[in-house]
Structure formats: C-alpha cells, structure tokens
C-alpha cells in the first residue's frame, strides 16, 4: 500500500501548537502588530518546529502581496555566497518569509533574466542582490518604483539608492598587508580580479595604503576573471625578482594561487608567504593553514535580510535618500601561511 502523504502544517496547526487563535498567527506573520513579545516568540517557535510555510499562491489569489523575498547571488559554488544565502534564507524563514533563490553564475544575461522574472511576475516583496554587473540600476529602480525595496550585499551599484550591507574591506586589507610587512616582506604582490566592484577596489586601496605607509612600491596583478589568475601569477613568478609574499583579494583567488604554488613546488611560507581576503572553512585544515581576513559571511546575509524586512515594514524602497548602510567589521585570522609559527589564534588577542 502506498504511503499516505503527510499534509503540510496549516495556520490552525501553528495556532494549536502555540496555544493562540488563528488570527494571532496571521498577525505575527504580517508584522507582529498588536502581539506581545511572549506570544510572538511562541508563535515563531511553533512555525519553526512544525516547518510551516505560508501558501504564497493563495495569498496572491486573495490579492495580497506575497511574503517572499528574491535573493540573487552570482555563484553558489563559492562558499562565501552560499553561507550568506543560507543565513539570509534562515532569517527570512524565521520572520515568516519564503526566499526565491536565483543563482546567475556571474553571467550578466542571467542576472538580467533573474531581475526580469521577479519584476514581471510580482514574485517578491523585496530583493536582496549580490550584483554581478554595475549597469542594472534601472531595472532595480523600476522595481523600487513599484514599491519593492532593494538591498545590495557585498558590493553596490552606482546610481542606485538602495539599502547596503558591506564589510570593512579597506581596513581588513590594511591589517593583512601590515601583518606581512611586520614579517619583513617588502616585495608583496596584490593579486585578484573583479576590480570593477567597490568591495574589491576598497581592498586594493587598503593594500596600497599599507604599502605606501611603509615606503614600499605597490605591485598589482589584476586579472579579467578568476580563470586568468594562475596565468598572470605564473608569468610574474617567472619574470625574475620573485615576490616574497602574495596578498589575494578573495577566496577564489587564494585557492587558485595555492594550487599554482603547489604545482610550481614553491613552499609556503618558506619561499613565498600568502595571506588571503576571505577565510573559508578548510583554511585551517590545509597542510599549511591559511592566514586570512575573515568576513562575517553569515552575518552579512542576516543583516541584509533584517534590513530588507524592516524596509518592507516601513514601506521604504531605499529611494529618495532613505537607503540604510550597514558596514560590518572584519578580523585577521593568523595561522601559518604568513610565516607565523605560534598556535592558530585571532590576531590582536592575548
């Protein structure tokens, strides 16, 4: 006999589990107005425990705005974006919102199609986006004009007045390069790609500032894309006057650099030190644990979602100077790829 499919939990199920009326559950799902903090907590706990998800199709048929946010990311294979997306999705779910996740694989046309999908079907109450292109301001402005708030994550779009959540890119890079200089390095090369985005350009600025403050000449190796990174680094290594240290601008670059150095039999950090911007889970498990600038990836996703939901509640789209900006701190995680031999610890702690 085929197994009977279990019914999805309903508002009535949530109400029984929380010991409240169905109308109270609806109030919590629609912003929590006129509901005490204790009741709100009980209802949200029941929602998570039962795995309740609002029926978005029914809401649209009733003429109500969908409780769905659109989340557009460049690439889910990149741990940074996947961690951010997961945290954003969890935060949205806790607040009674579904998440429509669209990965554009850093393809400019795919980002256009993702935005067109959200715009044409009125599929989202708000949009979180890691921009893959800098010329999508008009599409996002069109969504704002329809009352859909927008929050950009990690990088911003010129000409778009939206909510923003970024990290201290320049300060993080400054700390990393100063750490290499403290080790006595003078030929420190900065390597990466995507310099058109302000998150990367800010890291480049931090690198330049650290080098200038130390009276050293900046040396930049900036590729057009991630696939080109090994080629330009290999060319530099074979050109003579080999750098003693590399500072990479994101975790994809760091991975490419470490693979290349291994193929070329260059020992880290004995022959060349490496510090990356953006730590990742396996960084401490490498043969030579990686020293890296850690971004709060999960908090980036959570903060962006909180900001977007607050804008939705306030009826703010981010236009006319109302966009909020959040900047999160970074920290330098010191391991051994920089030349340190002490046990792994966070720089600056005792």
Residue 328, pLDDT above cutoff 60:
yes
pLDDT digits (tens, 9 = 90+) for 264-319: 999 999 999 999 999 988 788 888 999 999 999 999 999 999 999 999 888 766 65
pLDDT, position 60: 43
pLDDT digits (tens, 9 = 90+) for 147-165: 889 999 999 999 999 999 9
Mean pLDDT of 171-188: 98
pLDDT, position 9: 79
- 3-class state of residue 68 by DSSP: strand
pLDDT, position 350: 45
Closest alpha carbon to 298 in 88, 140, 152: 88
In this prediction, residue 113 has a pLDDT band, given cuts at 50, 70 and 90, of: confident
Mean pLDDT of 173-186: 97
Lowest mean pLDDT among 34-48, 77-91, 138-152: 34-48
pLDDT, position 119: 77
Mean pLDDT, all residues of the chain: 86
Give all domains of the chain, ordered by start, each with its CATH number: 11-53 (1.10.260.40), 66-167+297-328 (3.40.50.2300), 169-295+331-346 (3.40.50.2300)
Question: What is the sign, positive or negative, of the torsion defined by CA atoms of 170, 171, 172, 175?
Answer: positive
Mean pLDDT of 217-237: 95
Task: Tell me how far CA of residue 277 lies from CA of 249, 294, 332, in angstroms.
Answer: 5, 7, 9
* Structure tokens that stand for 217 in this block: 């000449």
pLDDT, position 23: 72
pLDDT, position 36: 85
pLDDT, position 58: 47
Phi-psi region of 319 (alpha: psi -120 to 50; beta: other; left: phi over 0): beta
* Structure tokens that stand for 70 in this block: 């659109």
Q: Tokens 């509640």: give the residue.
A: 313
Alpha helix locations (H) across 189-250? 198-213, 229-237
Residue 205: CB atoms within 10 A of its CB come to 15
Residue 300 · residue 167 · CB < 8 Å: yes
In this prediction, residue 35 has a pLDDT band, given cuts at 50, 70 and 90, of: confident
């Amino acid at each position: 006999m085929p197994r009977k499919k279990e019914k999805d939990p309903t508002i009535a199920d949530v109400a029984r589990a929380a010991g409240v009326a169905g109308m109270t559950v609806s109030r919590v799902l629609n912003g929590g107005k006129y509901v005490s903090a204790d009741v709100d907590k009980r209802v949200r706990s029941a929602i998570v425990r039962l795995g309740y998800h609002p029926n978005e199709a029914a809401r649209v048929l009733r003429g109500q705005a969908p409780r769905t946010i659109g989340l557009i990311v460049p690439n889910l294979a990149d741990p940074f974006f996947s961690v951010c997306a997961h945290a954003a999705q969890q935060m949205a779910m806790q607040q009674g919102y579904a998440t429509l996740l669209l990965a554009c694989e850093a393809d400019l046309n795919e980002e256009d199609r993702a935005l067109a999908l959200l715009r044409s079907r009125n599929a989202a109450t708000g949009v979180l986006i890691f921009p893959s292109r800098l010329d999508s301001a008009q599409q996002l402005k069109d969504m704002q004009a329809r009352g859909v708030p927008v929050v950009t994550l990690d990088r911003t779009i010129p000409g778009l007045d939206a909510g923003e959540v970024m990290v201290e890119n320049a300060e993080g890079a400054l700390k990393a390069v100063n750490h290499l200089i403290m080790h006595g390095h003078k030929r420190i090369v900065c390597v990466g790609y995507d310099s058109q985005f302000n998150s990367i350009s800010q890291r480049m600025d931090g690198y330049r500032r650290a080098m200038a403050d130390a009276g050293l000449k900046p040396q930049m190796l900036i590729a057009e894309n991630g696939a080109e990174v090994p080629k330009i680094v290999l060319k530099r290594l074979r050109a003579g006057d080999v750098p003693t240290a590399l500072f990479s601008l994101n975790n994809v670059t760091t991975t490419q650099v470490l693979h290349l150095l291994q193929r070329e039999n260059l020992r880290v950090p004995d022959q060349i030190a490496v510090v990356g911007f953006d730590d990742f889970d396996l960084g401490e498990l490498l043969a030579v644990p990686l020293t890296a600038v850690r971004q709060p990836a999960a908090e980036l996703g959570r903060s962006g979602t909180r900001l977007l939901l607050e804008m939705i509640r306030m009826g703010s789209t981010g236009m006319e100077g109302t966009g909020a900006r959040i900047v999160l701190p970074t920290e330098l995680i010191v391991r051994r790829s920089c030349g340190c031999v002490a046990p792994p610890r966070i720089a600056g702690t005792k």
